[in-house]
Amino acid sequence: MSENWSEEELRASVEAYVDMHRKEAKGEPFIKKNYYAQLSEKFGRTAKSYEYRMQNISYVYSLQGRRWVNGLKPARNVGANVIQVLERLISETEGQKLTASAEFAAVVEKLKKVTPKAPPVGNIKPANVQTTVTEYARDPAVVAWVLSEAEGICECCDNPAPFKREDGSPFLEVHHVLRLADGGEDTIKNAVALCPNCHRELHYGAEKRELVTRLRSKISRLRNGGR
Binding residues for Zn ion, rule: CB under 5 A, are: 154, 156-157, 175, 195, 198
Cβ closer to Zn ion: 16 or 156?
Answer: 156
> How far is 86 from 98, CA to CA, in rounded Å?
11
Least distance (Å) between residue 146 CB and Zn ion: 12
Least distance (Å) between residue 102 CB and Zn ion: 17
> How far is 91 from 36, CA to CA, in rounded Å?
21
Least distance (Å) between residue 152 CB and Zn ion: 12
Least distance (Å) between residue 52 CB and Zn ion: 29
Least distance (Å) between residue 150 CB and Zn ion: 10
Q: Which of 58, 59, 70, 56 is CA-nearest to residue 27?
A: 70
Q: What pairs with residue 192 in β-bridges? A: 175
DSSP 128-184: P-----------HHHHHHHHHHHTTB-TTT-PBPSSB-TTS-B--EEEESS-GGGT-
Cβ closer to Zn ion: 6 or 96?
Answer: 96
Cβ neighbours for 97, distance < 8 A, ≥ 6 positions apart: 91, 131, 132, 133, 134
Longest dimension (CA), the chain: 62
Cβ closer to Zn ion: 81 or 136?
Answer: 136
Cβ closer to Zn ion: 9 or 182?
Answer: 182
Least distance (Å) between residue 169 CB and Zn ion: 17
Cβ closer to Zn ion: 14 or 177?
Answer: 177
Cβ closer to Zn ion: 83 or 154?
Answer: 154
**By the 8 A CB rule, do 7 and 209 touch?**
no
> How far is 21 from 37, CA to CA, in rounded Å?
18
> How far is 66 from 192, CA to CA, in rounded Å?
16
